[in-house]
Amino acid sequence: MSTRSISLPRLDVPMRILGSIFVIAAYFIVLHVNVYLGVTMNLIGDTMSLPYFIRTKSYDVVGMLGFLMVIGLSKLVSTL
pLDDT at 4 over 80: no
* 2 inside domain: no
Q: What's the mean pLDDT in 72-79?
A: 92
When pLDDT is cut at 50, 70 and 90, the band that residue 69 belongs to is: very high
Which domain covers residue 61, as residue numbers? 11-78
Structural domain count, the chain: 1
Q: In this predicted model, which residue has the larger pLDDT, 49 or 6?
A: 49
Give just the sign of the alpha carbon dihedral 25, 30, 33, 39.
Answer: positive
Cα torsion 29, 33, 39, 42 to 10°: value is -20
Q: In this predicted model, which residue has the larger pLDDT, 4 or 21?
A: 21
pTM of the full predicted structure?
A: 0.82
3 in helix, strand or coil? helix
Cα torsion 9, 11, 14, 17 to 10°: value is -130
- Measured CA to CA, the distance from residue 72 to residue 74 in angstroms comes to 5
* 4 inside domain: no
